[in-house]
Structure 1
Amino acid sequence: MIRLSDLDAVFAALADPTRRRILSMLLEDDMAVTDVADPFEMSLAAISKHLTILANAGLISQEKRGRVKWCKLEPDALRDASVWMQGFGQFEPVNLEAFERFLKTELGETGDASEG
């Protein structure tokens, strides 16, 4: 049984565009916190707050490797949200590749500008 408080945390975490962009970045590979912060025009402390919200929602995990803190995508929370949405009969299961494409589209990432 999926706990509604867990779903609340997932949907609240997904409501923020910065956090969705972070998830999109982590679809590619695990990343050090400093690498996650690089593309954003905000402080490391602000990024850390976003990462804490994502971790509390179960969407990412964080692990210290030596002096570096690493972030890893944890797709189970998205699966649980997908299962919950399927209960309404209107939603398909979350396909992580499709989710990545959606995030890239939403964030305006078009790939190599020389294509096309």
Structure 2
Amino acid sequence: MGCDHFTFADWLLGFLLAVMMTFVGGMGLWQPVRLWYWLEWLACKQDQWWLGYRADQLEDPGERVHRALATYPQAIRIIQFVSGCMLLVSIPALAVFLYLLIQLRACL
């Protein structure tokens, strides 16, 4: 491996990866809410089943869950967004750092 320098295309690719990972990390904002929704749904259905309700009497837990989601604290959503962005932006940053180490080692 030679002692070449980064080209504009390398920097552009790294920037695009960082931007993509930022958006992907931001999408993690709703994942805990979705998981919580399905766990709540499963618990509600299980409770109704154990209590002996027939299938036509089962209540849809959607309304109760949607009311609970409406009160989900906005601060928690912001913290999840920032932590998701930081986590997924650090992956390309680590790749660039390792690439720089390899380049510096090749120059020595």
TM-score normalised over the length of structure 2: 0.28
Higher strand share: 1
Higher helix share: 2
TM-score normalised over the length of structure 1: 0.26
Higher Cα Rg, which structure: 2
